[in-house]
Structure 1
Amino acid sequence: MPRPTGRVLTLLELLQSGGTRTVAELADRLGVEGRTVRRYVNHLIDFDVPVESVRGRYGGYRMAPGYRLPPLMFNDDEALAVLLGLITGWAAGPATAERTAGETATAKIRRVLPKHLAHRLDTLLETLAFTDESRSLDAPAPDAGLLLTLADAVRHHRPVSIRYADRHGLPSERTLHPYGIVAHAGRWYVTGQDPRIGEDRTFRLDRIADARTLPGSFEPPPDPDPAERLLTGFATADYRHEVTVRIHGTVEQIRAHLPAGVALLEEAPSPAGATPPTTECWRRVDLRVERLDWLPPVLASLDRPFAIEHPDELRDLVAAFARRLTSYAAAED
């Protein structure tokens, strides 16, 4: 569901409060342009909400006299889609007016849900985590039943059996001790431990065909932090090349180009202890990548001193990239 969902609901509430609202007033309250207000009004009309257009100097929009919004009757899939659409629009971002509107709309929908569904959705919301790269999450929400099953297993520490297809499409059945559900870079994941091998695993929800809760329970680690485990898993995945680079800069400067889901960052200690993240110093960066050719432009964009420890192939690629840039700069029109 798109991010404007919260604004459409806010528009509905403003019109429900009575009177005629000008386009300028509505645009100001919603933080959008006038033409966007008109588009939102059309959305309401498409849902059979009788919004009337009032002409004249003090014209605008109003609700048809005598109209009252009927009670919201959502099934599980509909309620989940609405709430996830609202939450993914603001949960990972900083405090803004749009975030406040999204939180308000979420709370209002939550209050009118049946108790059994509200309880299950509360369980889901408590188990969701968002990485810094989830702010532009635009992937469709996963199946409601799958999400609710996994969320219940996370909250009550119950093992689950999942039918999963890997990136090559090969199916398998896995057992997982789930720690949490994470939104990252346009996708949804569940993280946890594979009890058969005693190692952490991450599974994309769009590749899970089915999940069912198994008997028994498990003891989660003291601080499972699903988002951190997801990012660490990505950075240490079994890819073709292992890369180690030392970069002189602050954590912020390096992370702007090599985020946690791509690289592990080892901060060099100072004589007095740990080096502050805002201090420029040499820091070791480890990556595992399938291809090396995208790294030279990234290292150049850092605009920081760096040294490649291995592999030698990356040194050759960086040198070739530098020669190309030099030839482009020297070329005459």
Structure 2
Amino acid sequence: MSRPTGRVLTLLELLQSGGTRTIAELADRLGVEGRTVRRYVDQLVDLDVPVESVRGRYGGYRLAPGYRLPPLMFGDDEALAVLLGLIAGRRADLTTAQRTANETAAAKIRRVLPKHIARRLDALVESLEFTGRPGTFDIPDAEILLTLADAVRHRRPVAIRYTDREGRRTERTLHAYGIVAHGGRWYVTGENRTFRLDRITDARTRPGSFEKPAGPGPAQRLVEAFATAEYRHEVTIRIHGTDEQIRAHLPPTVARLSPAKDEGWRTVELRAERLDWLPQVLAALDRPFVIERPGELRDVVAARAERLASYARRT
């Protein structure tokens, strides 16, 4: 934190202690001249801190009665957590007044942050996307997230250390196109690859630059990657229903949807590691369906139906 910024925060603490403080007293405590005190007061006023000027022999400065604001001395992790919460809040169902308060709070925090932190958070805001309404997200490692955001913003290659789901550790160079929040996790997309941030143990920008190709944005890339990922089973089902009815239970991150030959029917394609969750999805849809593949899914659905029927017959 720069010395002028630190003195402004010290001035705020002095005023918060109560009473009227003379310019001479404040100048002595801050180790500056009187005109510098006035400049610091102007900075607080610009931040909407209600500093009142008191005239007279014992005049000086004081805070408006009842006002108290703790000094905003954030580290990278703290600033990141606050700003991410405000960014997510912008996508929630807020009233106009709540949205305005959200924007105002973000602007105030942004203005009092040290410049190097503010610049890195600006890069994150520019590169971040959500696949849907934000829910509860784990805050990733601040240094890794901000390094990746800077690489996205300036189109710089970034070297990462990554541990895959099998526990294999690799080092690779990534051209990062964007950062996406999805399903409670954070991902970075690039070059037809998607990486979970919580599996990245180190990230460092490298010399050079790259051109981002035309095509889908980072969030859409992530959704398509989930829908086409390699799993044990490839499933094709024809369902009689509207896109809205089907999407309520099979979102784009899970399945691909296309019109079938017969009117009113849709072809649903997805990949799954296990099949035991699909019967309950089909039951929840409560629409006519035809399982085209795999045959094993027909057996799983039939077995689940028989088991439920046996429960229903019990007295």
TM class by smaller structure? 0.7 to 0.9
- Cα distance change on mapping 1:254 and 1:66 into 2, 3 Å: closer
Look up the equivalent residue of 2:220 and give its one-letter code: E
Question: Shift in Å at residue 99 of structure 1?
Answer: 4.5
Match for residue 325 of structure 1?
A: 308
Question: Contact 2:258–2:266 at 8 Å: present in 1 too?
Answer: yes
Match for residue 298 of structure 2?
A: 315
The answer to whether residue 200 in structure 2 is matched with residue 201 in structure 1 is no
C-alpha distance in structure 1 between counterparts of 2:64 and 2:124, whole Å? 37
Matches within 5 A, 1:162-181: 162-181=160-179
The answer to whether residue 276 in structure 2 is matched with residue 293 in structure 1 is yes
Cα deviation digits, residues 88-137 of structure 1 (max 9, x gap): 3x2433343654443332222112223332222111111100012x5212
The answer to whether residue 85 in structure 2 is matched with residue 93 in structure 1 is no
- Cα distance change on mapping 1:281 and 1:107 into 2, 3 Å: farther
Question: Shift in Å at residue 269 of structure 1?
Answer: 8.2
Look up the equivalent residue of 2:309 and give its one-letter code: T
Identify unmatched segments of 5+ residues in structure 1: 1-15, 17-62, 194-199, 271-279
Look up the equivalent residue of 1:321 and give its one-letter code: R
Matches within 5 A, 1:262-273: 262-268=254-260
Match for residue 103 of structure 2?
A: 103
C-alpha distance in structure 2 between counterparts of 1:209 and 1:125, whole Å? 22
Question: Contact 1:268–1:284 at 8 Å: present in 2 too?
Answer: yes
Match for residue 136 of structure 2?
A: 137
3-state secondary structure, aligned to 2:251 = coil
Question: Contact 1:293–1:317 at 8 Å: present in 2 too?
Answer: yes
Question: Shift in Å at residue 85 of structure 1?
Answer: 2.5
Question: Shift in Å at residue 232 of structure 1?
Answer: 1.0
Matches within 5 A, 1:5-154: 68-69=68-69, 71-88=71-88, 90-96=89-95, 98-132=98-132, 135-139=134-138, 141-154=139-152
Q: List 4+ stretches of structure 1 deviating above 6 A.
A: none
Question: Shift in Å at residue 184 of structure 1?
Answer: 0.7
Question: Contact 1:264–1:285 at 8 Å: present in 2 too?
Answer: yes
3-state secondary structure, aligned to 1:178 = coil
Between Structure 1 and Structure 2, how many residues are aligned? 253
Question: Shift in Å at residue 138 of structure 1?
Answer: 3.1
C-alpha distance in structure 2 between counterparts of 1:255 and 1:67, whole Å? 49
Task: Answer with 1 or 2: which has the greater Rg.
Answer: 2
3-state secondary structure, aligned to 2:160 = strand
C-alpha distance in structure 2 between counterparts of 1:203 and 1:254, whole Å? 28
Question: Shift in Å at residue 289 of structure 1?
Answer: 0.5
Aligned with residue 184 of structure 2, among 175, 186, 208: 186
Look up the equivalent residue of 1:283 and give its one-letter code: R
Match for residue 215 of structure 2?
A: 223
3-state secondary structure, aligned to 2:159 = strand
Question: Contact 1:91–1:130 at 8 Å: present in 2 too?
Answer: no
Question: Shift in Å at residue 64 of structure 1?
Answer: 10
The answer to whether residue 267 in structure 2 is matched with residue 284 in structure 1 is yes
Look up the equivalent residue of 2:84 and give its one-letter code: L
Look up the equivalent residue of 1:305 and give its one-letter code: P
Question: Shift in Å at residue 72 of structure 1?
Answer: 1.9
Question: Contact 2:238–2:260 at 8 Å: present in 1 too?
Answer: no
Identify unmatched segments of 5+ residues in structure 2: 1-15, 17-62
Q: What is the CA RMSD across the aligned residues, in angstroms?
A: 2.4
Look up the equivalent residue of 1:253 and give its one-letter code: Q
Look up the equivalent residue of 1:120 and give its one-letter code: R
- Cα distance change on mapping 1:228 and 1:109 into 2, 3 Å: same
Question: Contact 2:83–2:106 at 8 Å: present in 1 too?
Answer: yes
Look up the equivalent residue of 2:164 and give its one-letter code: D
C-alpha distance in structure 2 between counterparts of 1:66 and 1:304, whole Å? 61
Question: Shift in Å at residue 65 of structure 1?
Answer: 5.4
Look up the equivalent residue of 1:223 and give its one-letter code: G
3-state secondary structure, aligned to 2:176 = strand
Look up the equivalent residue of 1:220 and give its one-letter code: K
C-alpha distance in structure 2 between counterparts of 1:302 and 1:241, whole Å? 21
Match for residue 306 of structure 1?
A: 289
3-state secondary structure, aligned to 2:207 = coil
C-alpha distance in structure 1 between counterparts of 2:165 and 2:124, whole Å? 26
- Cα distance change on mapping 1:260 and 1:100 into 2, 3 Å: farther
Look up the equivalent residue of 1:94 and give its one-letter code: D
